[in-house]
Amino acid sequence: MKRLTNLILALMLCMSVFAQKDAAYWNKMADGMAQSLIKNFWGANFQGYPDRYYFNYGSNLSNMTTNHYWPQAHAMDVLVDAYMRTGDKQYKKLFPLWWEGAPRFNFAGKMNPKDPWWNVFVDDMEWMVLAQIRMFEATRDTKYIAKARQMYDDWIWPTWGPEDEAPWYGGITWKTDVAKSKNACSNGPAALIAARLYRFYEQAKFKDGKRRNAYLNEAIKIYTWEKNNLFDRKTGAVYDNMNGKGEIQRNWIFTYNVGTFLGAAHELYLITGDQQYLADAVLAAKYVTDHLSADGVLPDATSGDGGLFHGIFFRYFVKLANEESLDLDTRRKFHDYLTNLATVMAEQGINQKTMLYAGRWRKAPADDEPVGLTPQLTGCMLMEAMCVLKPL
């Protein structure tokens, strides 16, 4: 009897938590977080920096290093989220400014005089390309996706392979000067890019160059390599890399790598209808919900690259949670998991005055506490995910 009573109380608690947050609430939270991102991180907001069209690495000039290129792409992703959700031109007006600033402040741009967007890290270029494709989605301005295609064709896909070289037999390189390191963070996004170039090929009005089906073939090839080498088909774990010795690093399992793997799987499912892709995506997602979480919450991630990992997972996970071809129990599991995470963050982790998130689920930053760009982006992405999460 006591066990039944406890179960009923737990269910009532869950229902009350979920029920009290409606669409208006999540939109208000997402608005606040996006506005806070611009206010506290957009460089040109600050006196003395009128043309700093770049997101600072720390809030309110607390960290202005430009040695971190890849978060710029995710900051633009958040602006795209906010613009597509609201239609508010205040977000869109920053697009051309960022388009100027991102390559100008790229720390590695001068290393390749042919292209200021180029970076020594292949995955950094991939995040930029994914953001450029989303800018095209939001505006239908073909210059964005034309640049994305050029970067993929010139700088990303050429790092694939060689396919006959043991023990790697393919794979997209992680870093241009470390050719034999094949990482999840370079292969998952590359598969996503190729699949999206295939999907948007006609809308982008591509005429010359590589034909449409070539991108789909490349997406499948990259995805298959990652599945065969870095995906645990029993547990759903996505391992970090195959290194220069051909050894697989199984100790590093990060949410963002799971996110891009399941995102690519879901994208290929939508294109091909092959149920195996969907099954792969679900298994990978369940690894995060069942193995990387404690009491339904992921570990804190307060700074550095790791501050962004969960946010990238949320971006692709919510698309899977919305997949109506999934069985209802799986959708409910994913829906409730995401809702619980967002509720904990919104109620305990976000400073409701500053709308800043420091990467701690259950402790909001103080009013005057500097916050890193990467955890703030994760907070933004989770709030935006809740705005697109479909009701069951």
* pLDDT, tens digit, 9 for 90 and up, residues 320-376: 999 999 999 999 999 999 999 999 999 999 999 999 999 999 999 999 999 999 999
Helix, strand or coil, per DSSP, at residue 355: coil
Q: Are the C-beta atoms of 357 and 381 separated by less than 8 Å?
A: no
pLDDT for 34: 98
In this predicted structure, the answer to whether residue 44 has a pLDDT above a threshold of 90 is yes
In this predicted structure, the answer to whether residue 256 has a pLDDT above a threshold of 50 is yes
Nearest to 186, CA basis, from 121, 258, 116, 281:
121
State the angle between helix axes of 122-139 and 184-199 in degrees (0 to 180), rounded to the nearest 10.
30
Which residue is it, tokens 């292969």?
187
Dihedral sign for Cα 287, 288, 289, 293, please.
positive
Question: pTM of the entire structure?
Answer: 0.94
Q: What is the pLDDT of residues 177-193, one digit of tens each?
A: 987 899 999 999 999 99
Q: What is the pLDDT of residues 95-150, one digit of tens each?
A: 999 999 999 999 998 898 889 999 999 999 999 999 999 999 999 999 999 999 99
In this predicted structure, the answer to whether residue 83 has a pLDDT above a threshold of 70 is yes
Pick the CATH number of 65-344 from 1.10.645.10, 1.10.3720.10, 3.40.1440.60, 1.50.10.20: 1.50.10.20
In this predicted structure, the answer to whether residue 260 has a pLDDT above a threshold of 80 is yes
